[in-house]
A and B are shown apart, each in its own frame.
Chain A
Amino acid sequence: NAGVMQNPRHLVRRRGQEARLRCSPMKGHSHVYWYRQLPEEGLKFMVYLQKENIIDESGMPKERFSAEFPKEGPSILRIQQVVRGDSAAYFCASSYDRDEQYFGPGTRLTVT
């Protein structure tokens, strides 16, 4: 059973470009979560999704950030018009129910 997959592992974008981060949950998991981690910091919750629904987006910045988890395909975290402050590691996690979350390897976004 493959674990949580994230791609790309590393992403470099110039200021003003768009970043798309993809997450494929573990097989059988219908809950997906996105977190952001700055260097030497803990993970900060961004958004919780189930298939085709956003359940909790209380950690998402109000502008430029969006997330989706379509019926088919991976979950996507989209950052429009990136700024240097968006540089961070973005982790996706999935779970079967609302308990144990399994994390992917992360996408490291660098904005130049």
Chain B
Amino acid sequence: GESVGLHLPTLSVQEGDNSIINCAYSNSASDYFIWYKQESGKGPQFIIDIRSNMDKRQGQRVTVLLNKTVKHLSLQIAATQPGDSAVYFCAERSEKLVFGKGTKLTVNP
């Protein structure tokens, strides 16, 4: 069946460091992947997406890498800031969006 999982439930980094959040997926039919950021008490906020015909996509301070061979997705945040503290979810879509459990990122000043 479909499953999207995260390797680490929590991640703590120092302000200014780079953060890497990892995600594994199992549905090889998934053709679209998204990273969302969710702050406490709020709805998920779109960060960046990538289609299965790509292996890398860059945004402002964020990069998503897709390795279809090992079914692995990662989100890299450059120069992490306190405002980046949140729970980050990866999601994959074949017919519907399937969310992973989330990684809580804490940025220490």
Which residues of A are in contact with B by a Cβ distance under 8 Å? Answer: 4, 33, 35, 40-45, 48, 56, 58-59, 91, 93, 99-106
B interface residues, Cβ below 8 angstroms from A: 4, 32, 34, 36, 42-46, 49, 89, 91, 95-102
CB neighbours of B99 from chain A (8 A): 35, 42-45
Q: Is the CB of B49 within 8 A of A100?
A: yes
- Of A42, A45, A56, A106, which is in contact with the most chain B CB atoms at under 10 Å from its CB? A42
A40 vs B9: C-alpha distance in the bound complex, in angstroms? 10
B-chain residues with CB within 8 Å of residue A103 when the two chains form the complex: 36, 43-46
* A-B contact sample (20 more), CB < 8 A, given A40-B102, A101-B46, A103-B46: A4-B43, A33-B97, A41-B102, A42-B4, A42-B102, A43-B44, A43-B89, A44-B99, A45-B97, A58-B96, A59-B96, A91-B43, A93-B43, A99-B49, A100-B34, A101-B34, A102-B46, A103-B44, A104-B43, A106-B42
Interface of B is mostly: strand
The listed residue (B91, B95, B98, B100) touching A56 by CB distance below 8 A is B95
Tell me, rounded to whole Å, the shortest Cβ–Cβ distance linking B77 to chain A.
Answer: 19
